[in-house]
Structure 1
Amino acid sequence: MLAQAIRMTKEPGQNKQEFDIVPGERAIELQEHEILVETRQASICDADLRYASGMAWPNDLPPFDWPGHEGGGIVAEVGSKVRKVKPGDRVMLFGLDGCWATHFKSPERNIFLAPDGLSDTAAYLGEPVAVGMYGVFASGVQLGDDVAVAGLNFQGLIAVQGLKAKGARRVIAIDYSEKHLQMAKDLGADVVLNTTKTDAISEVRELTRGVGVDVSYHSCGYWNPRAEEYFNISLEVARDEGIVASVTDIMSPITANLHRAHHHALDVRFPAIMHHGPHFREQWVQRVLRPVVDGTVRIEPLVTAKFPLKEAAKGMDIFKNDEDQVKVLLTV
């Protein structure tokens, strides 16, 4: 079959950094271990924006020529060896299988059933939701902890909610956008700090009487030029023997104060549910989505814009140029 799909491409001979984002057609031929999904919703990831902008791309990652790894829909057809799902099931995509399209195919290992009780919006954001939620589960937060969240992107705003629900006594939200900070406050943050207006490190030290927070959660990377600044904020605000959990991908080398991490015995960890093997995800995906199903963590307030699939280029432009955006959806 032919699916209507979005492609990132450059015309031969074009001498420019950015990719064009254009509609086209993609041939799909289902193999025995694959699943055909009729897309209902996709979304834009920071990695999509980085790739389309022509920024340096890690050599261990595939190209994003046919973008879309956040999305899902309804199973239309399954290959002869598929046992995990059946036609009519509502499913979530966990893999770069080109879901910016009316239909996409995916190997069985990249498809997960959407939990009962999860809204369509949250279900088809299952992959980025699971990334943020696994970061919460693996953060090491204990009852009564002081925590800081440095970077209020989609995962950061999930963390504000999840860390508070996990037992944090005080959540300090750190960002550069007043809109993000207000969202964090509305979602349960106790203190908000704008790094364009104040010295967040000094403020956190004063709030904690010079001790620092028990856990700092870093969530600023991909295309964001503040990735280095916010990673170092996370290091500096953590107490001696505290935890730094960095959930976002920093896709270019940065300069980090590793003396701080070593000399003060910090536990620096990189929770990354998507970069373990498929058996690991089978164990964790449904589990980390439970707090979303029961309403403990809210996803719908984090959606800041929606565009039809054919206007994907417009959605990318808004996401790139409006720093107040959090999650931009593409509807099919």
Structure 2
Amino acid sequence: MWLGLGRITQIGVRAAGHQLGDTVVIAGLGLLGQLVAQYVALAGARTILALDPAPARLAFLAGLPTVQPFAGSAADALAAVRSANDGFRADVAYDVTGHHAVLPTLLPLVRDAGTVVVLGDTGRPHLQTLTPDLVTRGLHLVGAHDSQAPVQSPTRGLWTGRRMEEFFLHLLTQGRMNVRPLITHRFAPAAAAEAYEMLRTSRASAMGCLFVWSD
């Protein structure tokens, strides 16, 4: 599981084209958003605005000094973004929510010629809409998906999915990334119905859930 998530999020962060000192907005702090935040911190972000309506999800980022949590939606976050960035908008924003309605509320949070990364597929992309910001302010809209990772590398400089997975493991073994706190629940396989009911009714209280198989 973790290798796949580490690869998918790395594809998005690489696509963003970060610069040292970026101010970054991340909307959606599920497992993917949590890993994006850790990668972006390693990439030299000055400030990371973490947006999620669920305070419990924001708490997982308490160990990252660059993170400023915002328990709300992107639609209400512009003042917080400006406050965290000397009055300016963000350099890069990530939509990691998986919800089609978030993209148009995220575009106004990015500076002129800034970048918005849509990480993953909403499942209903035909419902996503744009705002005039994209054209009038020259924003860069980037889609990032697991299918973009090449299987083989024709040059040494091209990152394949396997190389990204190996780099993710390298960061974990060095302690520069940490997924241990993100495993919040463990269930026996016989408790599968209980696990899925918990996720259905109390999704915000859970992060990573594992089924523990034993003899």
- State the TM-score, normalizing by the size of structure 1: 0.56
Q: Work out whether 1:137 is the aligned partner of 2:14.
A: yes
Aligned alpha-carbon RMSD (Å): 2.2
1:220: which partner in 2? 97
1:29: which partner in 2? none
Matching residue's letter, 1:157: Q
Query: Separation in 2 of the partners of 1:270 and 1:290?
Result: 26
Alpha-carbon deviations, 1:250-276, whole Å to 9, x = none? 111324224222221111112223454
Instruction: Please tell me whether the aligned partners of residues 243 and 269 of structure 1 are also in contact (alpha carbons under 8 angstroms).
Output: yes
- Number of aligned residue pairs: give it: 203
1:272: which partner in 2? 145
Q: Work out whether 1:311 is the aligned partner of 2:183.
A: no
> By how many angstroms is 1:288 displaced?
3.9
Q: Work out whether 1:231 is the aligned partner of 2:108.
A: no
Query: Separation in 2 of the partners of 1:134 and 1:289?
Result: 15
Instruction: Please tell me whether the aligned partners of residues 304 and 327 of structure 1 are also in contact (alpha carbons under 8 angstroms).
Output: yes
How is 1:142-153 mapped onto 2 (pairs within 5 angstroms)?
142-153=19-30
| Counterpart secondary structure, 1:297 | coil
Matching residue's letter, 1:320: R
How is 1:31-180 mapped onto 2 (pairs within 5 angstroms)?
70=1, 125-180=2-57
| Counterpart secondary structure, 1:249 | coil
Query: Separation in 1 of the partners of 2:128 and 2:147?
Result: 25
> By how many angstroms is 1:328 displaced?
1.1
Alpha-carbon deviations, 1:45-99, whole Å to 9, x = none? xxxxxxxxxxxxxxxxxxxxxxxxx4xxxxxxxxxxxxxxxxxxxxxxxxxxxxx
Matching residue's letter, 2:140: D
- State the TM-score, normalizing by the size of structure 2: 0.83
- Tell which structure's C-alpha radius of gyration is larger: 1
Instruction: Please tell me whether the aligned partners of residues 161 and 188 of structure 1 are also in contact (alpha carbons under 8 angstroms).
Output: no
Instruction: Please tell me whether the aligned partners of residues 305 and 327 of structure 1 are also in contact (alpha carbons under 8 angstroms).
Output: yes
Normalized per residue, the structure richer in strand is 1
1:294: which partner in 2? 174
Normalized per residue, the structure richer in helix is 2
Matching residue's letter, 1:174: L
Sequence identity percentage: 23
1:193: which partner in 2? 70
> By how many angstroms is 1:230 displaced?
3.0
Query: Separation in 2 of the partners of 1:268 and 1:181?
Result: 25
1:182: which partner in 2? 59
Alpha carbons of 1:287 and 1:186: their partners in 2 closer, same or farther (altered >3 Å)?
Answer: closer
- Runs of 5+ in structure 2 lacking a partner? 153-159
Instruction: Please tell me whether the aligned partners of residues 189 and 211 of structure 2 are also in contact (alpha carbons under 8 angstroms).
Output: yes
Query: Separation in 2 of the partners of 1:216 and 1:300?
Result: 26
Query: Separation in 2 of the partners of 1:229 and 1:195?
Result: 14
